Amino acid sequence: MTSDTTQTERVATQTDPVATETEALRELIDQARVVLWDFDGPICRLFAGHAADKVADDLVEWLEGRGLHSLLTDEERRSLDPHIVLRAVDRRHPGSDLVDELEERLTQEELRATSTAMPTPYADPLIRTWTAVGRRLAIATNNSPSVVRAYLENRGLTTCFAPHIYGRTPQLSHLKPDPHCLNRALNAMGSAPAAALMIGDTPSDLLAAKAAGVPFLGYARNEYKEKLLRDAGATMITASLEPILNVLRTRP
């Protein structure tokens, strides 16, 4: 006969929310043969020492200095996201020299930012561990692929991803939330969407994953990021990459 104490312990274990979350995370990780990473956020804070909102402001000022104030709505000007500015101009002047020059300016700002980018806690060991246990990794990002390669080289992580780095292309309508970069990664790696996992920190990452049919794990380094993801429909969110690393290290 099972003692009351043992029964109580078993019930507590079964209803422990931390244990439940860990088990759900383990299932998500175990089914993934390919892991698709967003870059700025889950892998590093690219603009940690080179604020993204300042980059967005500089792009807006550059446009206004050329008499192109009307290209952006008030909301787009206030967005503080350089990719929103870039997409907005591309929608109104697709494939133009203006868009090419604006994109090049953004790429140069991103490249400058790599020297002060802050690695996301536990990202480096997690990437190396996931690679060591035989999973294939790719990056699917709205950042320039040259920027991603520069950062990975500085961190000694290039071999964990190369050649599967899928970033911004001249076709800016393919930026997430369009699933283009995810589909490129899946096709190149010969992976079914259900056998992959996307790690991202923005609603656009979630929407791209949904469109590609890829399971999604949200990374939210603060409550604001978590709220944005939950409001967009994310159900699996982690505030740290450490639990993922712990799951990998305790796999049989």
Q: Which pTM value belongs to this model? A: 0.88
Buried b (16+ CB within 10 A) or exposed e, 89-106: bbeeeeeeebbeebbebb
pLDDT digits (tens, 9 = 90+) for 113-145: 999 999 999 999 999 999 999 999 999 999 999
pLDDT for the residue numbered 14: 53
> Residue 85 corresponds to which tokens in the numbers above?
């500015």
What kind and span of H or E run contains 196? strand 196-200
Does residue 226 surpass a pLDDT of 60? Answer: yes
- What does the CA dihedral 144, 146, 152, 156 come to, rounded to 10 degrees? 180
pLDDT digits (tens, 9 = 90+) for 9-48: 443 345 566 778 889 999 999 999 999 999 999 999 999 8
Average pLDDT, the chain: 91
Distance of alpha carbon 233 from alpha carbon 224, whole angstroms? 15
From 6-15, 19-28, 61-70, 156-165, the region with the lowest mean pLDDT: 6-15
Specify which residues 34 forms β-bridges with: 136, 196
Burial group, residue 184, by CB count within 10 angstroms (0-12, 13-18, 19+)? middle
